[in-house]
Structure 1
Amino acid sequence: MELGLQGKTVLVTGGSKGIGLYSALQFVKEGAQVAIVARGEKGLAEAKAFIKEQTGIEIFTIATDISKEENCKQIVEQTVAHYGKLEILINNAGTASANSFEEVDAALWQSDLDLKLFGAIHTSKYAIEHMKAAGQGSIVNLSAVLAKTPPAGSLPTTVSRAAGLALTKAMSNDLGKYNIRVNAVCIGLIRSSQIEARWKKAMPNESWETYSKEIGKNIPLGRIGNTEEAANAIVFLASDAASYITGTAINMDGGSGGTL
């Protein structure tokens, strides 16, 4: 399948590790020009070196905090200054914060919404003008499966992610006339550094495959998802191969979610 990503410019927030990093890697493999954003210089340097080792290509990196609007504007401007254009935005930046309602104070509500919701809003706002100039664009917002069916003790993450789903649908309706598509990927149980730490603590003498199957017993596909699998879904939605898909959210959860 031809994805049509050769020569496209992609900006990935939260791109120094995990799903963001592997999405950036896959975009580079497909011939795209990639910029990644994260807060830490060290993590960005390691991500840049990893992608160079895997592909021979150097990506562009930006260290900043996208919870501030001015920084969102700057990362778009810096990406366009470096590559000359911008057609694809992956709003991946975020942290996991799961607490009961009574445990979440005003500062935590604000910081979570500023990063996950307003970071996506502001970065998209400044990216859209460049997509309009290119005559096309694709935005993929990262969310969580639990945003659709939030359990107890899942705040503020599920609220900010649920707002991101509403944002996705509303933006897709507003921006379709410019040939700009907006979709979301809802993440379930996917391999990460945190999950690997749990594996090494709980089952230090067992392989990842054994641990994955044990933890995934209640998942229809019977295992934890791989980071690359989530990245593949993101890259597909952003690509020309998904040219008639907009305003939708794909569950990346092995079938464990309670909703479509």
Structure 2
Amino acid sequence: MADDPLDGRVALVTGASSGIGEATAMALARDGADVALAARREKRLREVAARIREEHGAQTLPVRTNVRDEDSVVEMVETTVAEFGRLDCLVNNAGLARGESVEEMSADQFRTMMETNVDGVFFATREAIPHLRERDGHLIFVGSFAGQYPRPFNPVYAASKWWVRGFAHSVEGNVGEEGVAVTVVNPSEVRTEFGAAYGESFEERFEEGEVTEPEEVAEAIAFAARQEGSTVSELDLYRRDKFSGF
């Protein structure tokens, strides 16, 4: 493999201010890509972008974005293309989880989750496709174990990830013949701040080595992004004891 297999390419990563998104932006920059980083926390984005430039010498672009807002997502893609002149890879990573049961979840909580996990993915994908088509580019979706198996304790989150997975593979059938690769990466628990806004985060709940690390998911995403002329359709990353007791 070349030292910089993504040299000259431009990647856009949503949810890039921490966790999987931050690790993915780092991994893609390490492989030679210039990276646009999108999230709501602008200060944190700028810190991550500065570290990427320092460690990997890549060009970076922090773009404050709320994926729930259509206009914000349109601006995110337009700003990225205006800055770099192209877009080769979109990583749909931004998402949130809630732990309420169906009967406990309010309508506002439901809408917030679906607008983030579903609407945001749709908006970003829609805006990116014309640019990716020009570059034989790559759409990468961060799915979940919850999008493949029943999830009794947070069914709404699971439903949103089932949607992401079904949407991604259907888009794959739609744009594959136009040269656009589509990949879904499905982790189980990942040791990040995910879920912190609504209780104990996975980073707090698990010790290092107990579950998947964000860097491992980022490596799977980078592996998929490096493919030329073929598609890694789906990758599953589960902790090794995930199926014990099934």
Q: Same fold (TM over 0.5)?
A: yes
Give the SS at the match of 1:183: strand
Equivalent AA in structure 2 for residue 117 of structure 1: V
2:241 corresponds to 1:234 = no
Preserved CA contact (<8 Å) 1:145 1:257: no
Identify the structure with the greater helix proportion: 1
Give the SS at the match of 2:138: strand
Equivalent AA in structure 1 for residue 153 of structure 2: G
Preserved CA contact (<8 Å) 1:186 1:250: yes
- Shift of residue 142, structure 1, vs aligned partner: 0.7
2:93 corresponds to 1:92 = yes
Give the SS at the match of 1:6: coil
What's 1:196 paired with? Answer: 203
Give the SS at the match of 1:101: coil
Give the SS at the match of 2:36: strand
Preserved CA contact (<8 Å) 2:33 2:58: no
- Shift of residue 251, structure 1, vs aligned partner: 1.3
- 2 CA distance for matches of 1:66 and 1:148? 24
Q: Counterparts of 1:28-67 in structure 2 under 5 Å?
A: 28-67=29-68
- 1 CA distance for matches of 2:230 and 2:62? 31
Cα offsets for 1:77-134 (capped at 9, x unmatched): 0000000000100000011212211112222222111111111111111111111222
Moved over 3 A (4+): 255-258
Stretch moving more, 52-61 or 104-113: 52-61
What's 2:174 paired with? Answer: 174
What's 1:249 paired with? Answer: 234
Q: Counterparts of 1:68-147 in structure 2 under 5 Å?
A: 68-134=69-135, 136-147=136-147
- 2 CA distance for matches of 1:85 and 1:144? 29
Give the SS at the match of 1:102: coil
- 2 CA distance for matches of 1:170 and 1:139? 12
- 2 CA distance for matches of 1:56 and 1:245? 28
Preserved CA contact (<8 Å) 1:165 1:249: no
- 2 CA distance for matches of 1:57 and 1:238? 16
Q: Counterparts of 1:195-234 in structure 2 under 5 Å?
A: 195-198=202-205, 208-209=207-208, 212=209, 223-234=210-221
- TM-score, scaled to structure 2: 0.89
Tell which structure's C-alpha radius of gyration is larger. 1
- 1 CA distance for matches of 2:147 and 2:104? 19
- 1 CA distance for matches of 2:237 and 2:98? 19
Equivalent AA in structure 2 for residue 119 of structure 1: G
Preserved CA contact (<8 Å) 1:6 1:31: yes
- Percent of residue pairs bearing the same amino acid type: 28
Cα 1:257–1:184 change in 2 (3 A) is: farther
Preserved CA contact (<8 Å) 1:5 1:240: no
Two-structure CA RMSD over aligned residues (Å): 1.8
Q: How many residues align?
A: 235
Instruction: Name structure 2 gaps, 5 residues minimum.
Output: 194-200
Preserved CA contact (<8 Å) 1:140 1:234: yes
- Shift of residue 168, structure 1, vs aligned partner: 0.8
